[in-house]
């Protein structure tokens, strides 16, 4: 598959859209890692990459929530940015997504959630200015303008997250050119890092589920699945 700057821009546009949905409009969960990453993978022609990264990041961020004034890590940027980079990397190699690429991106872009939270904090300062301006305008009877200040909070988000996702995709494209130089033994190790990280993500998810007896429920789910996999393996010979 030929990849170019059009794909990089597309990654930016999708990233901006889901970031807006997360914060400013509707909150119908298009911004959750499972959806944001799958959508990103689909748009960039690397659906499997989007699905598996979305799956693991959904588990990783399962228990995070914006409670009161507390800001959680930005799970949407973590999902869209990591997937954009992995999809561009996979497309650059020409071989499609592999667990080694997914692991590499999860490790390289693991700070995106925290960075996104830092960006969100900076954005709040801008919104506080809008609120103060809205009060001023209302005081002077300019009610329409006061009310519309609400919409001015949207655009900086769209622009900043467009830029951040574009950078992630471009980085993936660039790193992808060097992937063929990575020794096979390292790629094999990275491939095994993926299920290990998935297990850790699942443990974090079970803990983050806030369920009473979460460990018991997690073990039950794991045991049922293990039994099903073993039975299927036995049937298949």
Partner 1 sequence: MIGPGTHLPKSVELRVFLRSLLLQASWNPKGMQNLGLVYALYPALEVLYPDPERRREAVQRHLTFFNTHPYVAAAIVGGVLYHEERIAAGEEDPRRVNEFKGALMGPLAALGDGFFWLSLRPAAGALCAALVPWLGAWAAVLFLVLYNVVHLTLRAWLFRMGLQLGDRLVEAVARARLPTRGARLRAVAAASAGAAAAYLAFTFGSQQGGVGGWLLAGGCLALGALSYVLVARKVPTAVLTAMAALLAGCLGAWL
* Residues 88-117 contacting partner 1, CB under 8 A: 99, 103, 106-107, 110-111
146 binds partner 1 (CB under 8 A): yes
Cβ-proximal residues to 170 (8 Å cutoff; 6+ apart), any chain = 8, 88
Residues in contact with partner 1, counted by CB under 8 A, come to a total of 99
The window from 8-16, 77-85, 159-167, 192-200 that contacts partner 1 (CB under 8 A) reads 192-200
Cβ-proximal residues to 32 (8 Å cutoff; 6+ apart), any chain = 58, 75, 76, 79
Return the HEC string of 178-205: CHHHCCHHHHHHHHHHHHHHHHHHHHHH
Give the shortest CB-170-to-partner 1 separation in angstroms. Answer: 24
26 binds partner 1 (CB under 8 A): yes
Looking at the Cβ atoms of 5 and 132, the one nearer to partner 1 is 132
Secondary structure of residue 167 in the 3-state scheme = helix
CA-to-CA distance for 111 and 187, rounded, in angstroms?
22
Burial of 235 (0-12, 13-18, 19+ CB in 10 A): exposed
Give the shortest CB-5-to-partner 1 separation in angstroms. Answer: 26
Looking at the Cβ atoms of 5 and 135, the one nearer to partner 1 is 135
* Residues 31-50 contacting partner 1, CB under 8 A: 32, 34-35, 38-39, 42, 47
192 binds partner 1 (CB under 8 A): yes
Give the shortest CB-61-to-partner 1 separation in angstroms. Answer: 9
Q: Are 172 and 88 in contact (CB under 8 A)?
A: yes
130 binds partner 1 (CB under 8 A): yes
Q: State the CB neighbour count (10 A cutoff) for residue 160.
A: 19
* Residues 166-185 contacting partner 1, CB under 8 A: 185
Q: For partner 1, which residue of 67, 234, 235, 237 counts as binding (CB under 8 A)? A: 67
Q: For partner 1, which residue of 15, 58, 83, 168 counts as binding (CB under 8 A)? A: 58
- Geometric angle at alpha carbon 207, from 203 and 208, rounded to 5°: 110
* Residues 194-223 contacting partner 1, CB under 8 A: 194-215, 217-223
CA-to-CA distance for 109 and 81, rounded, in angstroms?
8
Q: For partner 1, which residue of 95, 150, 174, 178 counts as binding (CB under 8 A)? A: 150
* Phi, psi values for residue 44, rounded to 5°: -95, 10
Query: Roughly what angle, to the nearest 10 degrees, separates helices 75-93 and 33-43?
Result: 30
CA-to-CA distance for 4 and 88, rounded, in angstroms?
9
Q: For partner 1, which residue of 135, 159, 182, 231 counts as binding (CB under 8 A)? A: 135
193 binds partner 1 (CB under 8 A): yes
Q: For partner 1, which residue of 1, 5, 27, 180 counts as binding (CB under 8 A)? A: 27
């Amino acid at each position: 598959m030929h990849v170019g700057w059009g794909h990089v821009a597309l990654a930016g546009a999708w990233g901006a859209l889901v970031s807006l949905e997360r914060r400013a409009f509707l909150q119908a969960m298009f911004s959750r890692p499972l959806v944001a990453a799958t959508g990103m993978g689909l748009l960039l022609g690397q659906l499997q990459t989007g699905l598996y990264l979305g799956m693991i990041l959904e588990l990783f961020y399962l228990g995070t929530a914006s409670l009161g004034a507390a800001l959680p890590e930005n799970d949407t940027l973590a999902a869209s940015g990591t997937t954009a980079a992995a999809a561009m990397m996979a497309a650059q190699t020409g071989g499609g997504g592999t667990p080694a690429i997914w692991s590499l991106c999860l490790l390289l872009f693991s700070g995106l959630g925290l960075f996104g939270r830092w960006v969100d904090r900076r954005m709040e300062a801008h919104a506080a200015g809008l609120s103060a301006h809205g009060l001023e305008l209302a005081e002077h009877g300019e009610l329409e303008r006061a009310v519309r200040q609400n919409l001015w909070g949207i655009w900086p988000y769209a622009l900043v997250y467009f830029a951040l996702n574009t950078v992630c995709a471009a980085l993936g494209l660039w790193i992808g050119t060097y992937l063929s130089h990575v020794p096979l033994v390292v790629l094999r190790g990275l491939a095994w890092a993926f299920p290990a990280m998935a297990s850790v993500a699942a443990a974090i998810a079970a803990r983050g589920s806030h369920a009473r007896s979460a460990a018991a429920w997690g073990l039950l789910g794991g045991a049922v699945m293990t039994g099903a996999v073993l039975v299927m393996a036995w049937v298949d010979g």
